[in-house]
Amino acid sequence: MMNIRDFIFINKAKTVNKIRILDILGFETNTNILQSPELIQKINENLVTIEIENEEILETHEPNIPIYSNNKNVGIEEKFLEETSTQTFEPIKFTSQIKKIWIDIESRRQWVVPATLISVTIILIISATSIFINNRNNQIDIDNLYLSLTADSNNLIIQLEDIIDISTDTFYSKYDVSNSSANLQLIESTIMEYERNLINRNDIENNSDLNDNLNNIFILINDLDKLISYRILLSEILIYEDLLILNENLDVDLLSNKLSEISAISKLNYEQLPSILEFNNHNSLLKESLNSAEQLHGRLIASLRNNEKSVSNALLSAISMNKEIEQDNFNEALKLFKENKSNLYRSINKLP
């Protein structure tokens, strides 16, 4: 018996192939197939109804239960299902998933756009806040650095008073003078750093009073540094120690060499003395003292070789007096220097 699917298949085939199809399905080959326009229209109308009913039947039945009872048709259908790969239907499943996702997006489009705008707004606010906080923290660090630099500068400026006392003390201490020189270098570098940062500070007006104050500080530091250098060089000029003490075991030739060495070192250091206003008189006197000392040295050696003891003692006294006169003049210059630099120090104001 012909089922619905066979009927649909035969109806859609061409006329020349219908007989062969019937033969395959087990019908007699001499079956006449009549097709009239009325029959075709009626069949087409029935096909639509049959297809709808078949779809409803297929949906209500289990997949493994056969719908048709014809044995030949069942064998052909089973063979067709076995040859057909199940992978053929996978694109349909994939398309269904895409459709489901699209439907979900469409159903949620009312809150997706606002959520996106809110997220972007929050991100922008957080970024702007972070930038603002970082800039503010950097500015706070810079301000703290300026405040720390100002405090350090003022603390170091206070030490200038002690350096004035040490550098103008008549008692020369090589250790104290060396420490004072190192402190001066630190003070100068700190004040220079303070001055370089003035252009970046908005809380300070770069006025003439501040510039004059800084100039006075640099002048004082420079003069103190010159004085320390002056004293270090002077400590090697006309220094005899115990060399002028005569005794019976005196070696005249050895004494002559040492006196010549003292004269050479003294002249070399004299040429390197820095120029300081308060020590101009001492500088001139020191030059005369060096010339006098060189002459006295020669006459002393000659008197010792001639064994003229009275003349040698007189020359020794003259050499000592020559050094004392120079030293007294230097001490007077120190007093003048201390007075002038103390007045300059008192005119210095605290840095803002």
User: Tens digit of pLDDT for each residue in 40-56?
Assistant: 565 555 554 555 555 55
Average pLDDT over residues 259-284: 94
State residue 281's pLDDT score.
95
Task: State percent of the chain over pLDDT 90.
Answer: 36
Sequence-ordered list of residues with C-beta below 8 angstroms from that of 243, at least 6 positions apart, any chain: 255, 258, 259, 262
Rounded to a whole number, what is the distance in angstroms from the first to the last CA of the chain?
116
pLDDT tier, 72 (very low <50, low <70, confident <90, very high otherwise)? very low
Q: What angle do CA 128, 132, 134 make, to 5 degrees?
A: 115
Other beta carbons less than 10 A from residue 325's beta carbon: 14
Task: State percent of the chain over pLDDT 70.
Answer: 66
Average pLDDT over residues 289-300: 92
Average pLDDT over residues 172-183: 87
351 and 154 Cβ atoms separated by less than 8 Å: yes
Q: Where are the domains of the chain?
A: 4-87, 141-232, 252-346
pLDDT greater than 50 at residue 62? no
Compare 104 and 57 and report the one with higher pLDDT: 104
Closest CA to 147 of 186, 106, 204, 199: 204
Q: Give, as one character, the DSSP assignment of residue 239.
A: -
pLDDT greater than 90 at residue 79? no
State residue 82's pLDDT score.
52
Cα dist from 351 to 110, 155, 195, 225, whole Å: 65, 10, 10, 22
pLDDT tier, 69 (very low <50, low <70, confident <90, very high otherwise)? very low
If you average pLDDT over every residue of the chain, what do you get?
Answer: 77
Sequence-ordered list of residues with C-beta below 8 angstroms from that of 34, at least 6 positions apart, any chain: none
Dihedral angle over CA of 253, 255, 257, 260, nearest 10: -130
State residue 80's pLDDT score.
47
Cα dist from 121 to 111, 124, 131, whole Å: 15, 5, 15
Sequence-ordered list of residues with C-beta below 8 angstroms from that of 293, at least 6 positions apart, any chain: 238, 262, 263, 266, 319, 322, 323
pLDDT greater than 90 at residue 340? yes
Q: pLDDT (tens digit, 9 = 90+) per residue, 25-42?
A: 555 544 454 455 555 565
pLDDT greater than 50 at residue 351? yes
Compare 6 and 339 and report the one with higher pLDDT: 339
pLDDT tier, 285 (very low <50, low <70, confident <90, very high otherwise)? very high
State residue 147's pLDDT score.
80
pLDDT greater than 80 at residue 293? yes
Q: Which range has the worst mean pLDDT, 75-79, 165-169, 192-196, 238-242?
A: 75-79
User: In this structure, which long-range contacts are made by residues 314-322, counting pairs with CB atoms below 8 Å and at least 24 apart in sequence?
Assistant: 316/244, 316/246, 319/240, 319/244, 319/293, 320/240, 320/244, 322/238, 322/289, 322/292, 322/293, 322/296
State residue 206's pLDDT score.
65
pLDDT greater than 70 at residue 96? no
Q: Which range has the worst mean pLDDT, 176-180, 188-192, 200-204, 230-234?
A: 200-204
301 and 255 Cβ atoms separated by less than 8 Å: yes
Separation between Cα atoms, residue 146 and residue 204, nearest integer Å: 11
Average pLDDT over residues 73-83: 50
Separation between Cα atoms, residue 167 and residue 338, nearest integer Å: 9
pLDDT greater than 50 at residue 65? no
Helix (H) or strand (E) holding 345: helix 309-346
Other beta carbons less than 10 A from residue 297's beta carbon: 19
Sequence-ordered list of residues with C-beta below 8 angstroms from that of 259, at least 6 positions apart, any chain: 243, 297, 300, 301
